[in-house]
Amino acid sequence: MAVAKRVIPCLDVADGRVVKGTQFQDLRDAGDPVELAAFYDREGADELIYLDITATLEGRKATLDVVSQVAEQVFIPLTVGGGVRTEADVNDLLRAGADKVGLNSGAVRDPALLERCADRFGTQCMVVAIDARRRAGAPGWDVVIDAGRTSAGRDAVEWAVEATTQRGAGEILLTSMDRDGTGNGYDLGLLHAVTSATTVPVIASGGAGTLAHFAEGLTQGGADAVLAASRLHFGDLSIRQIKAYLATEGLEVRT
């Protein structure tokens, strides 16, 4: 039996509120994270991702009390990221109720951190979050960190391979900076490049705007899961709609 494809809402949280913008800019308020988490759990989301998007920039950790409140509302796997710099940060988030922890800027700056955390907490707990931007005038994609503000000077596909084969990440959350919030569809070239080069599950993020985009991410892009934020938060689409469409396209989903 085929492994079911996952549909995952993402809560980008700043100052205790869910927000969503375009290419990490022009953020709009999208609601209360605890209320939205409960709503998506009822709606049939397969997992939930919670990202404290300003934690790294502000030099702080994710807000544990909000994470705990969100965790109490959901009975599906919860991944939390934002401001994770140490093993203690990972431990705190897992104790607060996260099932998996996402590392982005902290792992790029200190790849051994990812390795230590995978050894201590298990690869199944560790998600490497990769924000990638297409290179100007050259093929390929660069890794960007600090909520999209800093180029890391690393190739996104090479980093995906290192993070999973050498450093122990058990899953990749792959976001196209170019497509984020645009509704123009996932960057299928980026997705295919990463899914072809790695063996762990990949979550497609950045750009879904129509039902067809979700199917394309899973088929042409090779992703194991599709993520959405603004299209769900603002009511353009629902989890149920997405799953029903994927099923009509012959994709295995949990209903």
Q: Would you please indicate which residues are annotated as catalytic (active-site) residues? A: 12, 131
Please state, in angstroms and rounded to a whole number, the distance separating the CA atoms of residues 33 and 66.
Answer: 8
How far is it, in rounded angstroms, from Cα 116 to Cα 197? 23
Residues 6+ apart with CB under 8 A from 219: 249, 251
Please answer whether residues 7 and 242 qualify as being in contact, where contact means their C-beta atoms are separated by less than 8 angstroms: yes
d(CA 226, CA 26): 23
- Cα(192)–Cα(138) distance, rounded to whole angstroms? 18
Q: Among all chains, which residue has been given the structure tokens 């990949």?
A: 202
Q: Is 20 exposed, middle or buried (0-12, 13-18, 19+ CB in 10 A)?
A: buried
